[in-house]
Structure 1
Amino acid sequence: MDLRIFTEPQQGATYETLLAVAKATEDLGFDAFFRSDHYLKMGNVNGLPGPTDAWITLAGLARETKRIRLGTLMTAATFRLPGVLAIQVAQVDQMSGGRVELGLGAGWFEEEHRAYGIPFPTEKFARLEEQLEIVTGLWATKTGETFDFHGKYYDLTDSPALPKPAQDRIPVLIGGHGATRTPRLAARYADEFNIPFGSIEDSERQFGRVRAAAEEAGRHPDALTYSTALVVCVGKDDQEVARRAAAIGREVDELKANGLAGTPAEVVDKIGRYAEIGARRAYLQILDLDDLDHLELISSRVQSQVK
């Protein structure tokens, strides 16, 4: 099981804080550093000093890290035109030496769109499908050839489809709980399918839908990587678990039910249960970005047992 660190900077984080977490992620042997793509805080936090842009952040981290993968869970299709997004991600991939992955979703948080003047369309899923076709199509176009796309929402004519990423193919992540359209999109475009904050039972059911959709699309189901994203709260003992839960405003029992919480042994056991249903990667949502000792404990007492 690969363990990746997943952050929510809209809740309050500077670039320097994110850099410290990313460097710890690399030094402690985790597989990747991912971040959300939001411009407005959620819940009862102050969100200061304000949002940071996902791809500007990852561009900086691309030059300040050497090994870890870098990506988004998930970039909102509503935030960027697909041609612009293809350029941004390809450039950051070049800057990182080929370590970038793109998680792309439809966008859902209407309030942040209103707050920053971003249009919030009603047909988000259909737009996402066109974005996926355009972004992957631009990257796949051979140098010297052009790319055209004429859809309902986007129109590209004679695009040089540049720049090219450093990787032959940037991995694309698609995720969600939708029963029909989401598995179909994943079967067509995704290298990885992610279930965010899903129970073991719900995750197993959704993995099954994606596997069936892949077979129907003519892909081997094992061509996709299946992953989960869960909040994590680990302590050496019950007192430390309670302290870390309080620091993020959560209850221990709720975290144990809905995330990866408890002693290292408890968390290793639950990760193993996700592995049994086919998950090969876990994104550990870290909500207290100043607690680097938390990362060290997860590395030494959890990651060492699940790798």
Structure 2
Amino acid sequence: MQRRAIALFTPTIKDMVEVARLADDAGFDSVWNGEFFNRNGLVTLAAVAQATKRTKIATGIAYAYMRNPVLNATGAMDLDEMSGGRMILGLGSGTKSMNEGWYGQPFEPRSAAKMKECVTLIRKIWASHKGLGVKFEGQFYRLNIPAFSRPYAVRDRIPLYLAAVQKGMLRTTGEVADGLVGHPLYSRKYIAEYIKPNLEIGAKRAGRTVGDIDVTSLLITSISRDREQALRDAKNQIAFYASVKSYEEILNLHGWEKQKLAIWEHFRTFNLPKMAEAVTDDMVEQIAVAGTPDECHEQIKKWDGLINLPILYTPTAGVRAERVMENHRLIVETFAR
């Protein structure tokens, strides 16, 4: 596993640009950002596109359903143009509570089918930039643009990756996506026993194999010269994600029932320190890379053969801004080519 990527989950956009430049200079394959209710992934990636020269830029992830597919498609085209053809569009559905609670959008229970249609429509828009027009009549989307002229598109097809945790979306990813953006809570066991088999089922529908899919994953990477600090930060981030019931299949696979219930109990009062206390060292070892720079350099080798590209992800939950930036810089320093 030679390729390396970094997730840009920095305190400010200025910080994001700084880390992106460092990663670009250090030979990282790609830089990925995300979005939350308080951050727009496409807008911030525009700053990264202008600040870098070689590394690919990617959303990891942008929300598929909170924007119309036209907005995600044209936003990716703009970023591809700004970066000179370096864009990867990573999309995810988000959870039901994110869609409905944060954005006021009804959540479609047939999410995997909707995502397949969304991908089809986005690619149709990308391929129709020469004035052919876009007409689409689907189950979830209907669109009629008589003329769609886009003379400055860099590529007719931008790489499109999907985020997936459960089998329906994993199979859709295997069927229609160029790559998978794995969740930070993925464990090695979950990838081997659940992710890969379901990707394979989807891939077979399209006459493909898992080898045709770029399997990437956000990998919690907590680096400090103080090993205990690194472990604390990793446990905070694992606890944060383990509080989401949509991801419990990962915990159940390992038999982490006791830990799961303790995290859920303390989440009711948003008590992150108590949630993190329920995260065991074994959970950290299975899910994250955490320790000193030398330890992390060795630990990442355990992911060889499971994922093609680790997207090294700095813990942010309950972590001071200064420490967040220190971790980003240490990731670049530790894994520079």
Query: Which one-letter code corresponds to 2:334 in the other structure?
Result: R
Query: Which one-letter code corresponds to 2:71 in the other structure?
Result: V
Are residue 273 (structure 1) and residue 302 (structure 2) matched?
Answer: yes
Matches within 5 A, 1:188-203: 188-196=175-183, 197-203=185-191
Is residue 31–residue 57 contact of structure 2 (8 Å, CA) maintained in 1? yes
Is residue 231–residue 255 contact of structure 1 (8 Å, CA) maintained in 2? no
Partner in structure 1 of residue 165 of structure 2: 177
- Structure 1 residues 272 and 99 mapped into 2: Cα distance closer, same or farther (>3 Å)? same
Are residue 3 (structure 1) and residue 9 (structure 2) matched?
Answer: no
- Return the alpha-carbon distance in structure 1 between the equivalents of residues 170 and 106 of structure 2: 26
Matches within 5 A, 1:70-219: 70-108=57-95, 110-111=97-98, 113-141=100-128, 143-163=130-150, 165-179=153-167, 181-196=168-183, 197-205=185-193, 206-219=195-208
- Structure 1 residues 93 and 159 mapped into 2: Cα distance closer, same or farther (>3 Å)? farther
SS of equivalent residue, structure 2 residue 172: helix
Q: Which whole-Å deviations, capped at 9, do the CAs of 1:51-71 have from their partners, x for residues lacking one?
A: 221111112221222222111
Tell me by how many angstroms 1:227 deviates: 1.7
- Return the alpha-carbon distance in structure 2 between the equivalents of residues 134 and 118 of structure 1: 19
SS of equivalent residue, structure 1 residue 276: coil
Tell me by how many angstroms 1:159 deviates: 4.5
Query: Which one-letter code corresponds to 1:3 in the other structure?
Result: R
- Return the alpha-carbon distance in structure 2 between the equivalents of residues 258 and 246 of structure 1: 10
Partner in structure 2 of residue 42 of structure 1: none
TM-score normalized with structure 1 length: 0.81
- Return the alpha-carbon distance in structure 1 between the equivalents of residues 235 and 165 of structure 2: 29
More helix by percentage:
2
Partner in structure 1 of residue 213 of structure 2: 224
Partner in structure 2 of residue 18 of structure 1: 16
- Return the alpha-carbon distance in structure 2 between the equivalents of residues 123 and 210 of structure 1: 18
- Structure 1 residues 175 and 231 mapped into 2: Cα distance closer, same or farther (>3 Å)? same
- Structure 1 residues 268 and 165 mapped into 2: Cα distance closer, same or farther (>3 Å)? farther
Structure 2 residue runs without a partner (length 5+): 238-272
Tell me by how many angstroms 1:155 deviates: 0.9
- Structure 1 residues 25 and 154 mapped into 2: Cα distance closer, same or farther (>3 Å)? same
Q: Which whole-Å deviations, capped at 9, do the CAs of 1:48-107 have from their partners, x for residues lacking one?
A: xxx221111112221222222111122112210011221111111111111111111122
- Structure 1 residues 162 and 37 mapped into 2: Cα distance closer, same or farther (>3 Å)? farther
Partner in structure 2 of residue 65 of structure 1: 52
For these two proteins, the number of residue pairs brought into alignment is 288
Is residue 132–residue 149 contact of structure 2 (8 Å, CA) maintained in 1? no
TM-score normalized with structure 2 length: 0.75
Partner in structure 1 of residue 288 of structure 2: 259
Is residue 184–residue 214 contact of structure 1 (8 Å, CA) maintained in 2? yes
- Structure 1 residues 20 and 118 mapped into 2: Cα distance closer, same or farther (>3 Å)? farther
Q: Which whole-Å deviations, capped at 9, do the CAs of 1:18-48 have from their partners, x for residues lacking one?
A: 2222222223332222112211xxxxxxxxx
| Alignment root-mean-square deviation, CA | 2.8
Is residue 58–residue 71 contact of structure 1 (8 Å, CA) maintained in 2? yes
- Return the alpha-carbon distance in structure 2 between the equivalents of residues 246 and 177 of structure 1: 20
Query: Which one-letter code corresponds to 2:24 in the other structure?
Result: E
- Return the alpha-carbon distance in structure 2 between the equivalents of residues 73 and 5 of structure 1: 10
- Structure 1 residues 109 and 231 mapped into 2: Cα distance closer, same or farther (>3 Å)? farther
